[in-house]
Structure 1
Amino acid sequence: MMRRRLTITVFILYAVSVVAVTVFPIRVRPAAYWADDPWRTMVHLVPGDVDGPSFVLNVIMFIPFGVLLPLLKPHLDAVRRLAVHAATASLAIELTQFALGMTLGSRRTVDVNDLIANAGGALLGLLILRLAVPSPRHRAACVAGSPRSPSPPA
């Protein structure tokens, strides 16, 4: 039980950190600041059109997601399910950035490459988890804590 609480706490701290990095700081600017720059300029829909360091950092940012979420929710140990959850979380970040850009003028870019990198990072995290703890049963026990076996009779 204590391991599960620790894992939940680490996941919450991780999630707060991701929000801090991807949403903040919010720079509020008047509409006149972006008057000649249409909203389309902050949306990048072409896969592969990204700088390397940004892509790598987005992969790294989601590795903990791929490690922690399957520990907390063992049914998310499947590649497809985890990829869908990672893409959904990443899409939520991108939509938040878009909404803040449109309403407050913060103008963070919304990029399909971030979705790809984040999902890839989560899957890399799952691979790391599977290499570290090969059996799904053992991964579940890592968080839940395995019950102590009775001591042998003396």
Structure 2
Amino acid sequence: MLPISDILIRSISGYVFIFPVLILYFSLLKKWGRKQNLIHIVTVFLFCYYLFGILTVTGIGYTSTMSFRPRISLIPFLSMISGPIDTILNVVLFVPFGFFLPLLYKKYRNIRNVILTGFLFSLSVEIVQMFDWGATDINDLITNTAGVCLGYLAYYLLSKVLPDNLRKQFQSNNVNDVVVVLLFAIYIFIIMVTVQPWVIHSLLNIE
């Protein structure tokens, strides 16, 4: 796993390219009469930084070149037994994913939508890792999806004690939740495989 300082540098170097996009996005929503609550806006900024963090930790954008060199493990549960620490970290890494989605978007208060989205996001990570950015492992899919489920459970328990008026302030208003999450994810992947490696290796001269 990368050192914390390295994770921060690499994730922030990607995050700076979505920061103005988010400002523009929320400005346009306000102009179109779909103004979002301040709590929702701040939490979306945090959620997007978290997504950059996931890709950084999983090795996406670590090298400045792309070459198709898949290292694939299709044997389930084997690495979970041989590397329990990595298994726990993979679960923990995706817990916020399962928590943020239902907290921010009404469509994701359905656990099936959360699990499907978490699984597809994790699958996308595993596919991108085939381009010399890590190993593709079916166990990662299993543990990441388990983390998403735990994150949803945490949200569900919190929603039982959180006042309705406060919970609603976290939720989006009059937007297509699925499309928004999809566009965020696609944009973040693009940044992490194109601009972020250039910033790290060419601009900051970090190996």
Please give the range of the TM-score, normalised by the shorter of the 2 chains: 0.7 to 0.9
Paired residues for 1:29-40 under 5 Å: none
Counterpart check, 1:43 vs 2:72? yes
Find the residue that maps to 1:134 and give its secondary structure: helix
Cα pair distance change 1:30/1:67, threshold 3 Å: closer
Larger Rg over CA atoms? 1
Counterpart check, 1:59 vs 2:86? no
Equivalent pairs: percent with the same residue? 26
Distance across 2 between alignment mates of 1:112 and 1:137? 39
Aligned pair partner of 2:149 in 123, 126, 150:
123
Aligned pair partner of 1:12 in 36, 48, 67:
48
Counterpart check, 1:112 vs 2:148? no
Question: How much does 1:78 deviate?
Answer: 1.7
Counterpart check, 1:3 vs 2:39? yes
Question: How much does 1:59 deviate?
Answer: 0.5
Distance across 1 between alignment mates of 2:117 and 2:66? 33
The answer for unaligned runs of 5 or more in structure 2 is 1-36, 173-207
CA RMSD of aligned residues (A): 2.6
The residue that corresponds to 1:143 in the other structure is 170
Say whether the 8 Å CA contact 1:61–1:118 is kept in structure 2. yes
Q: Which has the higher contact order (CA 8 A, sep 6+)?
A: 1
**Can you list the C-alpha shifts for 1:32-60, whole angstroms capped at 9, x where unaligned?**
xxxxxxx66x1011110112111111110
Cα pair distance change 1:141/1:111, threshold 3 Å: same
Q: TM-score normalised to the size of structure 2?
A: 0.57
Q: TM-score normalised to the size of structure 1?
A: 0.75
Moved over 6 A (4+): none
Distance across 2 between alignment mates of 1:141 and 1:30? 45
